[in-house]
C-alpha cells in the first residue's frame, strides 16, 4: 500500500484506486500520525515556506504534488531527492482566456471606458484595433498554444518563443530580433534563474513604441521600476495579472500607472479551478497505483 496525504477527502478526488491509502492534511501545523509512512503529499494552497520545508523532512516522502502550475514558491524549500509535480493543464484554459481578454481589453482601451462609466461620463473616443497586430508569445508551452487558439479569429500574426527551438517555435536567444517587431509581448515563462528579471531595461527598451506587455506568469520576471518608468512616459502599455511585490501594497505607484490594466493574480481563478486541479491529482494517483511514470515532473531548474 502507498500512503498519500490529500488536502481534501478522498471522495473529492473521485475515491482512491486500489493500493492507495490516504489521510487528509489541510496544511495545519500538526501532521497526521502517518508522517513516517507517507510517500506522496498533495500540498494545499497557501502554505508558508517553513511548512513546506518541514514537509521535506518526512522520512519516506518521495513526491510532492502542487495544485498550481508555477512551482517557484515550492522548489527552494524541498530537498533534491523529492520529486515535484505540478498541475500542468488544470489552469491552462482560464489563463489563456485572461491573456486573450487582457490583450483585447487593453488594445481597445476598455479600462478608460470602465472609468468613464463609474464617473457617469459619455467618453466617446477612437481606439486601436487588435486586427493586424503581431503577438510575440515568450514561453510557448501549453498555455501559449491555448492563447494562440483563442486569438485565431482575430487576424493577428503569432511569433512563438520557447527555451528550445522546434518546428515553428524560436529559441530564447532569438528574442532580441523578435521584440522590435511585436505589437504585443505575452510573458508565460516559469520563474528560473534565466527568466527572473527577464523583462529588464534592455528588454523594454527594445520593444517598439506603443507596444503592449502582458504578464500572466510571475511578477519577478518583470523589473517593476523600469516598467513603471516606461508606463509613466507613455511609451509602453501593460496588462499585469502578477506583480512584484505581490500582493501589491497600498500606495504602490503601479495602482495609478497610466496605460496599465491590473488584476490581482486571478487569471486561473475560475469557479471550477479546484475541480480542475483535483482531476490532475486523480490521474496522478491512478498512475501511482499502477506503477506508471508520473506526469508533469518539475526539474531542478524550474522546467
Active site residues: 218, 246, 265
| Torsion sign across C-alpha atoms 201, 203, 204, 205 | positive
Give the end-to-end CA distance of the chain in Å, rounded to a whole number.
Answer: 31
Q: How many CB atoms lie within 10 A of CB 17?
A: 15
Q: How many CB atoms lie within 10 A of CB 232?
A: 15
Q: Which residues pair with 237 in a beta bridge?
A: 212
**Residues 103 and 214 sit within 8 Å (Cβ to Cβ):** yes
Decide: residue 172, CB within 10 A, 0-12 exposed, 13-18 middle, 19+ buried.
Answer: middle
Q: Three-class SS of residue 186?
A: strand
Q: Side-chain half-sphere of 232: how many Cα atoms within 13 Å? A: 10
Continuous segment of H or E residues that includes residue 290: helix 273-290
**Residues 204 and 212 sit within 8 Å (Cβ to Cβ):** no
Q: How many CB atoms lie within 10 A of CB 80?
A: 8
CA distances from 231 to 106, 138, 212, 227 (A): 13, 20, 10, 6
Rounded to the nearest 10 degrees, how much is the dihedral formed by the CA atoms of 284, 167, 146, 71? 50
Amino acid at each position: 500500500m502507498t500512503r498519500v496525504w490529500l488536502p481534501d477527502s478522498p471522495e473529492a478526488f473521485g475515491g482512491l484506486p486500489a493500493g492507495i491509502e490516504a489521510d487528509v492534511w489541510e496544511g495545519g501545523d500538526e501532521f497526521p500520525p502517518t508522517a513516517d509512512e507517507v510517500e506522496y503529499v498533495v500540498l494545499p494552497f497557501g502554505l508558508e515556506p517553513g511548512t513546506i520545508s518541514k514537509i521535506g523532512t518526512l522520512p519516506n516522502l518521495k513526491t510532492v504534488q502542487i495544485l498550481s502550475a508555477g512551482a517557484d514558491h515550492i522548489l527552494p524549500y524541498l530537498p533534491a531527492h523529492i520529486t515535484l509535480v505540478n498541475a500542468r493543464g488544470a489552469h491552462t484554459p482560464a489563463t489563456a482566456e485572461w491573456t486573450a481578454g487582457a490583450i483585447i481589453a487593453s488594445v481597445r482601451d476598455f479600462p478608460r471606458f470602465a472609468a468613464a462609466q463609474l464617473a457617469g461620463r459619455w467618453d466617446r473616443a477612437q481606439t486601436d484595433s487588435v486586427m493586424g497586430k503581431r503577438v510575440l508569445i515568450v514561453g510557448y508551452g501549453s498555455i501559449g498554444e491555448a492563447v494562440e487558439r483563442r486569438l485565431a479569429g482575430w487576424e493577428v500574426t503569432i511569433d512563438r518563443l520557447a527555451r528550445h527551438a522546434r518546428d515553428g517555435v524560436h529559441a530564447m536567444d532569438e528574442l532580441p530580433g523578435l521584440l522590435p517587431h511585436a505589437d504585443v509581448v505575452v510573458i508565460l515563462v516559469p520563474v528560473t534563474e534565466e527568466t527572473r528579471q527577464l523583462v529588464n531595461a534592455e528588454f523594454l527598451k527594445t520593444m517598439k513604441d506603443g507596444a503592449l506587455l502582458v504578464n500572466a506568469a510571475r511578477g519577478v520576471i518583470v523589473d517593476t521600476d523600469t516598467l513603471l518608468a516606461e508606463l509613466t512616459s507613455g511609451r509602453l502599455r501593460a496588462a499585469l495579472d502578477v506583480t512584484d511585490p505581490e500582493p501589491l501594497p497600498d500606495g504602490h505607484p503601479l495602482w495609478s500607472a497610466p496605460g496599465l490594466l491590473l488584476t490581482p493574480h486571478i487569471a486561473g481563478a475560475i469557479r471550477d479551478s479546484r475541480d480542475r486541479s483535483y482531476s490532475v491529482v486523480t490521474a496522478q494517483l491512478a498512475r501511482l497505483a499502477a506503477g506508471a511514470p508520473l506526469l508533469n515532473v518539475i526539474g531542478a531548474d524550474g522546467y
